[in-house]
């Protein structure tokens, strides 16, 4: 397997990147960074030793909204790793209606194949674009018969190049043409067992026999998008893409299992056992321990997939998980609750803070949104207070409070077009203070 280019990052570089998006939680960042670095270290070992080194799975403990999912999601995106986030509470024990736990592995393989396909498309972007332009140009200017004179051929070649340039631009985007596309096969659902996938593929062969191509009328702009997929499927070695996707998922895949506390059987429930919850844990165990799962693209061993589980554990504790599953998550880290100061830093220091997002959204309508420093302080204070008085939802509270503060400005954005709108501390207080102080009202609105 080709080593993913971004996998060779030091733990310090990984933490530095995460610092731009997640405030505090240094212990969790450090643990994740070491786990990822160990994956690169393992790939440098001799093949026989590589198979012996298994990843140390991580259990993250912390309230909702403190950054558990964001840490995992950001690091996977940064390093180009196949990554899926699943919720443990969505699975059911084998034999019951619902998603089976093996579907998380099939989701990971599908994400990995898509990742490799995207990378290959980027490498061949100019070639794909040239072929798309050429196919559309041939529709607008059909090729001449071979019997015409050389003069006619030269004249055609000149006109063809001019047509290609027009197609490459936007001048002809609204013109309608008929294009022929490969008929999309009936795709198997990655979340169903392989035997069902085989039935679907058999049906596809029967139903699509003799109808591999379909002609559609669309604008040239639409045709460009449709043909990009068509052309890329033709020039990319899809078998190789699928092989590499399967291998990258096996060697570098990360599965983030959220809400794992929801399948723990709390000792507070007394001697009563929940067979459904415990059944999901037992179904999950062989996947985390290492087993072979059949997918649409072939069999995959889960021995070297990194599993990161997370949960709030408000009503249960990690020891309420079955002992065998506890043992498969040897690394544990507790994330700290968000203080008022951390809430303020989330608003002001992160690279993609919701303040910057809202400013960019309103800029589309010509509104220059500005927050006074004290307004942001007050927003952080009241958001923190709302978390203390009602359910603590961490940084997600900032989304609800900010939305409440800006709802009138956002609704009347057209009226403020071309103006600078300043949000003051007094405005924030006026919008939120009464709601925060009235606990019953805050439960419904904030």
Query: Is the pLDDT assigned to residue 2 strictly greater than 70?
Result: no
Going from the C-alpha of 209 to that of each of 179, 198, 205, the distances in angstroms are: 20, 17, 6
Place of tokens 């165990």: 285
Query: Is the pLDDT assigned to residue 150 strictly greater than 90?
Result: no
Rounded-to-10 torsion of CA 184, 185, 188, 190: -30
Q: Going by C-beta distance under 8 Å and a sequence separation of 6 or more, which residues neighbour residue 422?
A: 370, 371, 372
What pLDDT does residue 3 have?
43
CA 426 to CA 419: how far, in whole Å?
Answer: 20
What pLDDT does residue 201 have?
52
In this prediction, residue 435 has a pLDDT band, given cuts at 50, 70 and 90, of low
pTM: predicted TM-score of the whole model, two decimal places: 0.76
How is 60-93 classified by DSSP, letter by letter?
Answer: EE--TTSSHHHHHHHHHHHHT--EEEEEGGGB--
Beta-sheet pairing, 58-61 with 306-311: parallel
- How much is the average pLDDT of 339-361? 90
CA 354 to CA 339: how far, in whole Å?
Answer: 18
Pure H helices in 208-317: 220-235, 238-252, 275-289
What average pLDDT does the structure give for the chain? 82
Q: Domain ranges for the chain, please list them.
A: 5-116+244-334, 125-235, 340-436
In this prediction, residue 355 has a pLDDT band, given cuts at 50, 70 and 90, of very high
Query: Is the pLDDT assigned to residue 186 strictly greater than 50?
Result: no
CA 147 to CA 145: how far, in whole Å?
Answer: 6
Specify whether the CB–CB gap between 302 and 283 falls below 8 A.
Answer: no
Place of tokens 């800006």: 406
The CATH code that applies to domain 5-116+244-334 is 3.40.50.300
Percentage of the chain modeled with pLDDT above 90: 26
CA 269 to CA 278: how far, in whole Å?
Answer: 13
Helix 425-437 with 373-389: angle, nearest 10 deg = 10
Going from the C-alpha of 352 to that of each of 20, 155, 365, the distances in angstroms are: 9, 54, 20
What pLDDT does residue 438 have?
59
Map residue 101 onto helix, strand or coil: coil
Q: Which CATH number fits domain 340-436: 1.20.1260.10, 1.10.8.60, 1.20.120.350, 3.40.50.300?
A: 1.10.8.60
φ/ψ of residue 194, rounded to 5: -55, -35
CA 292 to CA 312: how far, in whole Å?
Answer: 30
Out of 69-83, 183-197, 430-444, give the one with best mean pLDDT.
Answer: 69-83
What pLDDT does residue 162 have?
87
pLDDT tens by residue, 368-392:
999 999 999 999 998 888 888 777 7
pLDDT tens by residue, 279-336:
888 889 999 999 999 999 999 999 999 999 999 888 888 888 899 999 999 999 998 8
């Amino acid at each position: 397997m080709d080593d993913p280019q971004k996998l060779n990052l030091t733990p310090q570089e990984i933490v530095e990147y995460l610092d731009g998006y997640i405030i505090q939680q240094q212990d969790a960042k450090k643990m994740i960074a070491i786990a990822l670095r160990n994956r690169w270290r393992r790939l440098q070992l001799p093949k026989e030793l590589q198979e012996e080194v298994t990843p140390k799975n991580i259990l993250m403990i912390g309230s909702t909204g403190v950054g558990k999912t964001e840490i995992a999601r950001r690091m996977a995106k940064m390093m180009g790793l196949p990554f899926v986030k699943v919720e443990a509470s969505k699975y059911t024990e084998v034999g019951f209606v619902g998603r089976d736990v093996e579907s998380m592995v099939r989701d990971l393989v599908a994400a990995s194949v898509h990742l490799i396909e995207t990378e290959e498309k980027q490498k061949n972007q100019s070639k794909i674009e040239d072929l798309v332009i050429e196919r559309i140009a041939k529709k607008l200017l059909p090729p001449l018969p071979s019997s015409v004179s050389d003069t006619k051929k030269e004249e055609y070649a000149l006109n063809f190049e001019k047509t290609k340039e027009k197609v490459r631009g936007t001048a002809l985007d609204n013109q309608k043409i008929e294009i022929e596309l490969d008929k999309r096969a009936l795709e198997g659902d990655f979340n169903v067992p392989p035997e069902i996938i085989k039935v679907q593929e058999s049906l596809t062969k029967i139903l699509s026999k003799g109808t591999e191509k379909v002609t559609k009328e669309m604008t040239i702009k639409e045709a460009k998008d449709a043909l990009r997929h068509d052309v890329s499927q033709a020039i990319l070695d899809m078998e190789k893409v699928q092989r590499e996707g399967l291998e990258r998922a096996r060697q570098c895949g990360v599965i983030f299992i959220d809400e794992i506390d929801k399948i723990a059987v709390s000792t507070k429930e007394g001697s009563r056992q929940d067979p459904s919850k415990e059944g999901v844990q037992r179904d999950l165990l062989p996947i985390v321990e290492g087993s072979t799962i059949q997918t649409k693209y072939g069999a995959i061993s889960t021995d070297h997939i990194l599993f990161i589980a997370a949960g709030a554990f408000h009503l249960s504790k990690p020891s309420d998980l079955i002992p065998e599953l506890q043992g498969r998550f040897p690394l544990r880290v507790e994330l700290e609750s968000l203080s008022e100061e951390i809430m303020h830093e989330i608003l002001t220091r992160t690279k993609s803070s919701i303040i910057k997002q809202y400013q960019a959204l309103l800029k589309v309508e010509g509104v220059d949104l500005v927050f006074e420093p004290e307004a942001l302080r007050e927003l952080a204070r009241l958001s923190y207070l709302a978390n203390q008085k009602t359910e603590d939802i961490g940084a997600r509270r900032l989304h609800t409070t900010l939305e409440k503060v800006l709802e009138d400005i956002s609704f009347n954005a057209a009226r403020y077009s071309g103006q600078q709108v300043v949000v003051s501390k007094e405005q924030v207080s006026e919008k939120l203070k009464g709601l925060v102080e009235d606990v019953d009202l805050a439960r419904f609105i904030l």
